[in-house]
Structure formats: structure tokens, C-alpha cells
Structure 1
């Protein structure tokens, strides 16, 4: 009988070994978090300033994952346009990978769809962990994207720190990472996070990357 493994238990080494996945450090591999970003309006900045202030306030207490998701992720996805037509949210989506020896299973908490295409995946966990803890699970979900010929994009966040991911599955699967954004610095780096999400939303609607997937893993 095949052994069942939860996606949340995977290490980065596990994912690399199981899927022959390689990290690419060349900054030219992943320009989509830096180039041609849309403007973040003054109104959006004011809203994101409130999001940051709210998170800093509630972070003094022990936080349930759903509270962090409501305070930080929901405003970001809303401002980026992922809750409006042609996108719509789904929830409790099961993902699995099987071979003769084991089955890896995971649950996606929020899935935003454009027709039958994956656009955003949110996996909610605990704000006390580094975003590095979210990376293996995020990559596992991204590898299960049903459109392997197109690049897959993701965001790993614990509510206060954010890191974008790009995955290419042609030939040898490869991934690259953005710089890490944080609410713990002066200013508000949610502006940059929103700009990247807005670019991916606009690109998807324009049809320039029809099978593009955004996987947001919140660990």
C-alpha cells in the first residue's frame, strides 16, 4: 500500500528530489516581479497603510490563521481585482500526487479561477513561521498546475513577510524567487506586493498568459 504524505510535511529537499526541481539564481529568469508594474494609486496606498497598521496592532497577540488571512490577504486580493469577474473564488480544493510508493496530498484553502484556469491559490498557516517554511508546499501546488507549458507564479507569505515565486516546467522544472518584502521595515512594502499582483491580474485578463497560475502560500 502506498504511503500517504501531507503536503505540509514536505521539505524543500523532498520537493526537489521528487520532481527533479532546480532553483535558478539568474535574475533574468524571473523579471515578472520587477518589470512593467502598474501604478498603485493614492487611494490604494491609503488602504494598504490601514492594512499594515491593523496587522501590526493584532500581531501583538496570538493570531489564528483565518484572522491573518482576513486582515492581510483578503484586502490584497480584492485590490488586485481577483474577486471580480472573470475571476471567482473557490475553497477546500484537494491536490494530490501519486506514484507506486507514496501519495502526497494537500488542501488549498482559497482558489481564484478564471474559467477553468488557476489564477490564485492560498494555503493558510501560521504567522509565526518564516516564509521559507511555506516554500515546499507552495512549489508542490504550483507543480500540479494543469497547464505545464506556461510559467506558474506564486506568493508565499506569513502575513508580515512576502516572497514571489516563478516556476517553469518545460524540460527540467526550475524555479526562481523574488526579494523578500516585509511589513517590519519603514514605509509600506505592501505597495510593491500589490503592484505585482495587479500586473499578473491584468496580464491574465489581457490573455497574454492564458494558463498563468498565481499560487499564494500563507504559512
Structure 2
């Protein structure tokens, strides 16, 4: 008999993601090179708008914490629009219902994770999860376990799936491969103030690259 558990209750840490999803973190540096290699260039108009978005976000940061909804309005949605990812051939979808059956031992029975995904999906193989910024908290890292659970529910598990977890200030990319045995890897964390190379521009280039693979 199957036991149904909400994703938000079942997956609250990386250890739980590893155990419940039978996930392992890839150690081979060649596993996730897409966030480093073959990145497209940005146009002058894209660079100008991205610089504006960065300055806007930092202006809001000065007033205190930024909610998930605010980050969506002032940064994430305009970022996708600036990169043309809201227009054909791309297609963005909002919240979806996810159901993922997990194999367990015979005595425990099967477990089904389900819940409404508070995320955007781009062409089924690129997930974008926005988490709320917290003072003193590394919230993008806290968002990784549930993001991996969402990515495991892709309708095309035979293909590599990519994700981006962000609070508007920090940006972290993920790659998940389920063939053979499920494995994942993380990119570097990009932050707006670690800006000697303008990290938001790098984030935009990586996002365009991953979108082209989806």
C-alpha cells in the first residue's frame, strides 16, 4: 500500500533527498560543464537591461529582506523576458502538480511524493525555483533538496534536466541525470555583489545556454 507524503514535508535536507530519491552527487568535473562551456554572448541591449535589473535589486535590498513574490516581480520575470525566454520557441509554464513514486522495501511499502510545484518550467527540461531571501541564511542552498525532487518528476527522465535556484541575489545551477543511477551536480554560486566580472551577466549566459538544450 502506498503512503502519500507532500514533497515539502518529505524532502527538507540533502540527506533526505539522497536517501528518499536514491540520489548521489557526481564527483566527475566533466559531468556538468554546460554552465562553463559554450556560453552564448549577450547583445548590448541585454547587457544594459541586465545591469539595470541588478541595480534595481540592490536598491530593494537596501530596504530589508525581499520576499519570493517581490523577487519574481523585480528580477526573475524581467530576466527571462530580457533573454527572450518567454517567447517562441520557448514556453514557460507556472505551477504544476507533481507526483513521484519511490521504491522502498517490501515491508515499508511504496512512498508517493506529491505536491504543487512552486516553480517555472521551461520546455520541460529546465526548472527555475525562486526561494525567499533571508538575512544570514544561505537560502539557495536550502532550496536545493526540493528542487531536486521536482526535477526527478520530469516527464522525460531519459534526458538530462537542469535547474536554477535563486532568491534574486544568489544564483545556483543544477544538473540531474537519471539514466543508469540518478546523479546531480551543482555550479558555483553566483551573487550580485561578487561582481568583478558582473555575475548577473554570467548567469544570463548560462541560462541562455541551458535553455538552448531544453
What is the TM-score with the length of structure 1 in the denominator?
0.83
Aligned mates of 1:30, 1:120 — CA distance in 2: 14
Aligned mates of 1:110, 1:24 — CA distance in 2: 24
Gaps of 5+ in 1: 205-211, 213-219
Q: Does 1:5 align with 2:11?
A: no
Which of residues 174, 190, 213 in structure 2 aligns to 1:181? 190
Gaps of 5+ in 2: 103-108
1:21–1:112 CA distance, 2 compared to 1 (3 A): closer
Identify, as 1 or 2, the structure richer in strand.
Answer: 1
Q: Is the 8 A contact 1:107 1:123 kept in 2?
A: no
Which of residues 146, 158, 163 in structure 1 aligns to 2:172? 163
Aligned mates of 1:20, 1:177 — CA distance in 2: 17
Q: Describe how 1:50-199 pairs up with structure 2 within 5 A.
A: 50-59=52-61, 60-99=63-102, 100=109, 102-114=111-123, 118-128=124-134, 129-130=137-138, 131-187=140-196, 188-199=198-209
Secondary structure at the aligned position of 1:87 is classed as coil
1:31–1:122 CA distance, 2 compared to 1 (3 A): closer
Aligned mates of 2:83, 2:125 — CA distance in 1: 12
Q: Of the two, which has the highest radius of gyration?
A: 2
Aligned mates of 2:169, 2:60 — CA distance in 1: 11
What is the TM-score with the length of structure 2 in the denominator?
0.84
What displacement does 1:101 show?
5.0
Quote the RMSD (CA, aligned, Å).
Answer: 2.0
